[in-house]
Amino acid sequence: MSTKSKVLEILENNRGIAVSGGKLAMQLQLSRNAIWKVVKELQREGYDIEAIPNRGYRFGNGNDILSTAGIKPYLEKESMAENILVYSTLLSTSHTAKQLALEGAKHGTIIIANEQTGGRGRMGRSFFSPKDGGLYMSLILRPEISLDSSTLITSAAAVAVCRTLEKTTGVKAGIKWVNDIYCNGKKICGILTEAIMDFESNSISAIVIGIGINVSTARGEFPKELEKKAESLIHVTERPLSRNRIAGVLINEVLWILKELGSEELIQEYKSRSIVLGKEIEVLYNQQSRKAMVLDIDERGGLLVEYENQEKQVLTSGEISIRGEF
Ligand code: BTN
């Protein structure tokens, strides 16, 4: 690890607290002058590092630069995170993750970008991914699961995002089936789960979970069609956020939740976080929509709905909208 990364890691570990030049120098076995030079260089690169006379260095509130060194302090010791690759711009983290998975990248390889020029959403839509405003992450997973259980991964990822948002910001997050994350009635996060199949053995060789969180995108920056339904986390918390911290906790939560896959507790948590249970919805299918009532969510994450003609159906994929909402 470079000296710059080590300094970043120490400052990230001590957010809110000033770390003296002497302490940094001792920990990194360098002179105080060498530490000062590294800090100056980091400041030139855009890091908001405050130098407080007689106390030391600390991150200012404006510091929100994504980096592997900045994420590492938040990873649990037993984390299965294999390799965390942070890019400034990518077409799509999921696109890169799928390429790497095909080339043999290991379980726990994480791709993060500060901007996506071709962010992808579900149902062939795009995902608005402006520079500096969000956390765009794709995780390569190689869980030993059957095709059957793979649908549960999507529900598990949604629960993992809710847990992360609550741990890092204290905000209450809900799930709009199948896996959109809402806070205060607006979409904060979207999840795209994709599988790479091994047709020889008819099994899944890798799963790529793509998670996009609107962290600090300004309200006026969202495209017109999203203005009413999308929101950034910062407007819910109304205080500065660290994308490195959110990323680290999210990696822990997603990798951890795989152990809970298929458990009764997990589906109960998914249900308790659902914002559609008992609601009147529109089921969107083939450019058409049908009114229905949500009765339940089954043990596989399927949505049990009842249409106006009393016909019931379990939806395993697709798109719904809550009636009366955008
Ligand atoms: C949706 O809301 O329809 C799902 C959006 C998923 C967006 C994330 S951002 C990281 C990853 N890379 C992509 O291109 N898409 C996913």
pLDDT of residue 262: 84
User: What is the residue with the minimal CA distance to atom 2 of ligand 1?
Assistant: 190
pLDDT of residue 326: 57
Q: For ligand 1, is residue 120 a contact (CB within 6 Å)? A: yes
Give average pLDDT by consecutive 10-residue segment, the chain, 326 residues.
87 89 95 95 89 93 86 83 93 98 96 98 95 97 81 92 94 94 96 90 91 96 93 91 94 93 93 96 89 95 95 92 78
Closest atom of ligand 1 to 119 CA is 14
Closest atom of ligand 1 to 120 CA is 14
To test ligand 1's pocket by mutation, which of 87, 94, 123, 231 has the most ligand atoms within 8 angstroms of CB? 94
pLDDT of residue 194: 94
Q: For ligand 1, is residue 212 a contact (CB within 6 Å)? A: yes
Q: Where are the beta strands (DSSP E) in the chain?
A: 49-52, 56-59, 83-87, 109-113, 134-141, 174-176, 180-183, 186-198, 203-214, 280-285, 288-297, 303-307, 312-315, 319-322
To test ligand 1's pocket by mutation, which of 120, 178, 191 has the most ligand atoms within 8 angstroms of CB? 120
The rounded Å distance from CA 81 to ligand 1 centre is 20
**Residue 294 DSSP SS3:** strand
Q: 73: alpha, beta or left, given left = phi > 0 and alpha = psi -120 to 50?
A: alpha
The rounded Å distance from CA 92 to ligand 1 centre is 8
To test ligand 1's pocket by mutation, which of 136, 161, 193, 194 has the most ligand atoms within 8 angstroms of CB? 136
**Residue 290 DSSP SS3:** strand
The rounded Å distance from CA 135 to ligand 1 centre is 10
The rounded Å distance from CA 125 to ligand 1 centre is 9
Q: For ligand 1, is residue 119 a contact (CB within 6 Å)? A: yes
Q: For ligand 1, is residue 125 a contact (CB within 6 Å)? A: yes
The rounded Å distance from CA 148 to ligand 1 centre is 23
What pTM was estimated for this model as a whole? 0.90
Q: For ligand 1, is residue 94 a contact (CB within 6 Å)? A: yes
pLDDT of residue 130: 97
**Residue 147 DSSP SS3:** coil
Residues in Cβ contact with 167 at an 8 Å cutoff, skipping those fewer than 6 apart: 249, 253
40 vs 98, 181, 232, CA distance in Å?
Answer: 38, 39, 31
Maximum Cα interatomic distance, the chain, rounded to a whole number of Å: 77
